Structure 1
Amino acid sequence: MAEGESEHFTKSDENHASNLDKKKSDYASACNTGYINRRPYKDKRHRFEVHHILCEHSIETRFGYYKDDPTRDYIEDCIWITDWDINNANNLIGLPRNRRFRVDWASTSDTSRWTPLDVPSHQVDHNTSDGYTKEVSKWLQKNLWDTLSAAKKQHAVDAAKIKRQFVKGEKHFREELEERGTREPGKLVAWPNRFKEEYEKTWYHPFSMGKKPRHRHPGAPGKVATGLFAKLR
């Protein structure tokens, strides 16, 4: 069946166009945006990770959404013919780990080496109950699963339209992550001032992936933290 044809179809290898499984791809090599530092460290621990903007766990929430077998089969059939890959470069962005800030930043007072300044940490408010993954799941339900469920009544399969929604989600949440990584007071101000009372409720904002950052303790001072990490290596 051709993409965009508006009648139901039989799934086959020939009309299978989608991939929603990150495990079936060396997706890390496809990532070319965000914070990427592929230089191996002496302790073999990377300070960045590749993040799927529309993440696998959020896409998998469709399995809990299905109200009945026909709805499940219809949505799965629609996705089957949609030419969208979870591992495509536009759905990938490099994000730092917490160690990038707690260890690398603490090891130098040269703020010109304090990067990245434009994206949050991959380990802050990602999979919390009200975090980034939950937010993406809600967006997908509203903009894809609900829409496809309603279209089932007309048996109108439009793979091109479905792909446009996936692409819209990629763009929307990439912009959100970049905006969140630059929230006030900004990392260059927030990090060295995180122990000050006036920054108690704001210093963690630019490090958070979440729409509403969870309050967190600033931890141990830089030299103390660096010493502790050194002992743990």
Structure 2
Amino acid sequence: MAARDHFTRTPENKASELEKNTTYAKTAQNANKGYNNTDKFADDRPRSEVHHIVCEISVTLRFEDYKDNGLDDATVQYIEDCLWITKWDINNVDNLVGMPRNRRFRADWASTTDETKWTPLQWPSHQVDHLTTDGYTDEVQAWLYKNVWSTVRDKRKKHETSAEAILKALKQGETHFHGQLTTRGTRPPGKKDGWKNRHEESYAKKWYKPFSMGKKPRHREPGAKRKYATGLFNLR
């Protein structure tokens, strides 16, 4: 199904949900997606958070992309109408994954030499290079414009764009960035090796890479050597 210029939005023909809801964290936890540690620190903050793989901020920033790329009002309306009838929910289970917070490493890993307790090893921190300039959010935003929004724009005159095609592209985004996160969380030198050697000069520019969500990790501080690694992940 494709939107036409005479298309009228109604509650009945709305199929998409582009904003996070109040139950998405439970959805990921119940499905055991990623790292979901529901234990809390002494200050009652959790050890993990649930991440939207195709994240809400990047989806919302499509309006900036429309403006920055000079899309006229009619084209913007057409893209939004197509999204309206696309059966994609940003809170669907395939678009969610649990990830550790910085304090999982800064407090938990720093408090023990027992490497069997150093988990998770496959996921980066949800707080490292997520919202930084050229970080994960910017990367997803650029991907969405290239692979979804501009595609709808280019095919508007021929009415070739369909809700099914947009759904397929968004699902491809879920798969692509899920893979990127697991790859980045396990890249060299590896979390355990990087963690143990983070104060060594030879590791200064690489220890933090598997902890980062970013394609190009920003240079980070190794934190204190004492029991609680204060300063860990601060930008240098």
* TM-score, length basis structure 2: 0.90
In the TM superposition, 1:115-194 aligns within 5 A as 115-194=119-198
* 1:64 positional shift: 1.4
SS of residue paired to 2:12: coil
- Return the letter of the residue paired with 2:201: E
Q: State the partner residue of 2:234.
A: none
Question: 1:15 pairs with 13, 16, 23, which one?
Answer: 13
**Aligned mates of 1:218, 1:136 — CA distance in 2:** 27
- Return the letter of the residue paired with 1:60: T
Q: State the partner residue of 1:97.
A: 101
Q: State the partner residue of 2:115.
A: 111
Q: CA RMSD in A?
A: 1.6
SS of residue paired to 2:98: strand
Q: Which runs of 4+ in 1 moved over 6 A?
A: none
- Return the letter of the residue paired with 2:14: H
Contact 2:2 2:82 in 1 (8 A): no
Structure 1 residues 8-17 or 146-155, which shifts more? 8-17
**Aligned mates of 2:180, 2:127 — CA distance in 1:** 16
Q: CA offsets, 1:126-184, max 9 Å, x none?
A: 11111000000010000001101111112334111110000000000000000000011
Q: Are 2:76 and 1:72 aligned?
A: yes
- Return the letter of the residue paired with 2:12: E
Q: Are 2:37 and 1:37 aligned?
A: yes
Q: 1:54 to 1:201 in 2, by over 3 A?
A: same
Structure 1 portions without partners, runs of 5+: 229-233
Contact 1:82 1:160 in 2 (8 A): yes
- Return the letter of the residue paired with 2:137: T
Q: State the partner residue of 2:56.
A: 56
**Aligned mates of 2:219, 2:59 — CA distance in 1:** 28
**Aligned mates of 1:212, 1:203 — CA distance in 2:** 13
* 1:42 positional shift: 3.6
Q: 1:71 to 1:25 in 2, by over 3 A?
A: farther
**Aligned mates of 1:44, 1:25 — CA distance in 2:** 19
Contact 2:189 2:206 in 1 (8 A): yes
- Return the letter of the residue paired with 1:30: T
* 1:68 positional shift: 1.6
**Aligned mates of 2:3, 2:47 — CA distance in 1:** 47
SS of residue paired to 1:93: strand
Q: 1:155 to 1:49 in 2, by over 3 A?
A: same
Q: Which has the higher contact order (CA 8 A, sep 6+)?
A: 1
* TM-score, length basis structure 1: 0.91
**Aligned mates of 1:6, 1:224 — CA distance in 2:** 55
**Aligned mates of 1:204, 1:77 — CA distance in 2:** 42
* 1:95 positional shift: 0.8
Q: CA offsets, 1:39-73, max 9 Å, x none?
A: 24443111111111001111112111222210111
* 1:7 positional shift: 4.6
**Aligned mates of 2:216, 2:121 — CA distance in 1:** 19
